[in-house]
A and B are shown apart, each in its own frame.
Chain A
Amino acid sequence: MTAPYVLTMVLLAIGIYAIACKRNLIKVVIGVMVAEYAVNLFLILLGYRTGGFAPIRTEAMDQAAGAAEAAKSFAAASVDPLPQALILTSIVIGLGVVALLAAMAIRLHEKYGTFDVSEMRKLQG
């Protein structure tokens, strides 16, 4: 079953479309954000196990089955923690990119008085 993966591609396509076709700087920023959502969604889908639970061990588990047993049953049923660590990093990186983009958009708005890309033509190519 790989249909959810394909849906994240649709989301990525929406982001790319916004970046390529929209002339408003804020719309471009939104396009970048949507593309980042797509990749975060993709990674979390990679880590899910059917019927799995959050990868957090609790004292109750240990008391119910004993520490050694609890470790095994926990590892057998929990979802994959690695993609979650990757997504946490990726969310932070996305936030950094958005902050930088917003700073540039503000500065460009100060210089040109508009968010319209087509009115910024100081560069040839």
Chain B
Amino acid sequence: MGVMTTLYFLMAFIIVAAVIAVEARDLLSSVVSVAAAGAGLSIIFLLLGAPDLAITQVVVEVLCLVILIRAAVTRKDTTYDARPNTFAVVGGLAFCTLLCAVAAYAFKAMVPFGDPKMTMSGPYLLKSFESTGAANSVMGVLLDFRAYDTLGEATVIFASIIGAYVLLRHVGRRTDARHESDR
């Protein structure tokens, strides 16, 4: 099977898994389907020459699955019989159709798949090993040429964990503070 056939097959798989994840009535099936879509994505990464991303995607996927199952699926849920809001469904579907139609027309003008313009990254590939000593060019880009982005990335994950701690505090407001400050 050529790369293209495999790619289309995997993309179809991801789309089907995403539809199942969104439409399944059972939350556990939803969560498992979205993890399946993530696994498909990680195989695409492997296929398109990105083993770093494949590893990361798989472990992150496992972690998301664990978090979602432990956190959400074990809890009682009452939305199975809920009827969707017709206006929202029609609006959502219309917007999505429009998006796909516009994309199908406009993306013909993009640089085609398989032949990227590498104005910025050509020198990265050429110099990564000699200038930074990183044989893995992705690490060379990530931690030397564009290390500042990675600082931002580390900060994002830091902010989200601190945010999760903050949200899961048992008590947010002090009720007795009024008397203290009025003294």
Give complex CA distance A106, B110 in Å.
42
- Asked whether A7 lies within 8 Å of B164 as measured between CB atoms, the reply is no
Docked complex: A33-49 residues within 8 A CB-CB of B: 33-34, 37, 40-41, 44-49
How many of B's residues come within 8 Å of A, CB to CB? Answer: 94
B interface: dominant SS = helix
- Asked whether A17 lies within 8 Å of B150 as measured between CB atoms, the reply is no
Point out the residues of chain B lying under 8 angstroms from A103, CB to CB: 71, 163-164, 167-168
Known contacts A12-B99, A14-B22; decide if A79 and B149 are in contact (CB<8 Å).
no
> Which residues of A approach B to under 8 Å, CB–CB?
1-18, 20-24, 26-27, 29-31, 33-34, 37, 40-41, 44-50, 52-58, 71-72, 74-75, 78-82, 84-85, 87-89, 91-100, 102-107, 109, 113-116, 118-119
**8 contacting pairs across A/B (C-beta < 8 A):** A4-B113, A24-B77, A71-B126, A82-B120, A85-B146, A87-B45, A100-B167, A106-B75
> Which residues of B approach A to under 8 Å, CB–CB?
3, 7-8, 11, 14-15, 18-19, 21-22, 27, 30-31, 34, 37-38, 41, 44-45, 48-53, 56-57, 60, 63-64, 67-68, 71-73, 75-79, 82, 84-85, 88-89, 91-93, 95-97, 99-100, 103-104, 107-108, 110, 112-116, 118, 120-122, 124-126, 128-130, 135-138, 140-142, 146, 149-150, 152-153, 156-157, 159-161, 163-164, 167-168
